[in-house]
Chain A
């Protein structure tokens, strides 16, 4: 069973702090990795994608990928209360069609 694992949380951080969200995956052949944000009652929206080992930065967000350790993370700098949401890790698993498979998500709470 090819899986994507996330700690469900909640992860609680103070406003202005760095929030670190982690995700592990079981399929070594996975090629692409995505982070989605889902507000309560809303649909997931893409924040970042990463394909290569290392870091990728976009504004306050940094995605980190380590394929050897099968680990992908999302860092949110200067966290804001508006960042409070569930963050879903998605991995396009190998085996033909590279279908996006989601973790159960980590709930992030940023308190003032």
Chain B
């Protein structure tokens, strides 16, 4: 256990559905991240929050909408996704956005049908 918990672990959704991914960290960290991992591609940074403020939005389509209500929780709201959005979505946290390592959750395996 890394102290970062993601739910659900697996999700299958249709292109017209709306769903949310949840991430919670119990490490007292101030920065949280969403990454997308597709087969044969590097981890792609999607969003970064530091002290609940979004500091990075890496040109992610608007069908992905993050929310960070407090420093321990991070959500990724999904709507009208495409099949190519199927991937492993990883949440991570770190003490800050400086020279500190990231701790990852177990990920949500998303399949869009």
Which residues of A does B touch, CB under 8 Å?
Answer: 4, 8, 31-32, 34, 42-46, 49, 51, 88, 90, 92, 96-105
A49 to chain B, nearest CB (A): 5
Q: Which residue of B lies closest to A101 (CB)?
A: B45
Give 28 CB contacts A-B under 8 Å. Answer: A8-B40, A31-B99, A34-B101, A43-B2, A43-B104, A43-B106, A44-B104, A46-B101, A46-B102, A46-B103, A49-B101, A51-B99, A88-B43, A90-B102, A92-B98, A97-B48, A97-B56, A99-B33, A99-B97, A100-B94, A100-B102, A101-B45, A102-B35, A102-B43, A103-B42, A104-B40, A104-B41, A104-B42
Task: Report whether over half of chain B's contact residues are helix, strand or loop; otherwise say mixed.
Answer: loop
Q: Which residue of B lies closest to A89 (CB)?
A: B42
B residues less than 8 Å from A49 (CB atoms): 101
B42 contacts A98, C-beta separation under 8 Å: no
B residues less than 8 Å from A46 (CB atoms): 101-103
Interface string of B1-12 (1 = CB under 8 A from A): 010000000000
Bound-complex Cα distance A101 to B104 (A):
14
A102 to chain B, nearest CB (A): 4
B50 contacts A45, C-beta separation under 8 Å: no
B43 contacts A92, C-beta separation under 8 Å: no
Q: Which residue of B lies closest to A100 (CB)?
A: B102
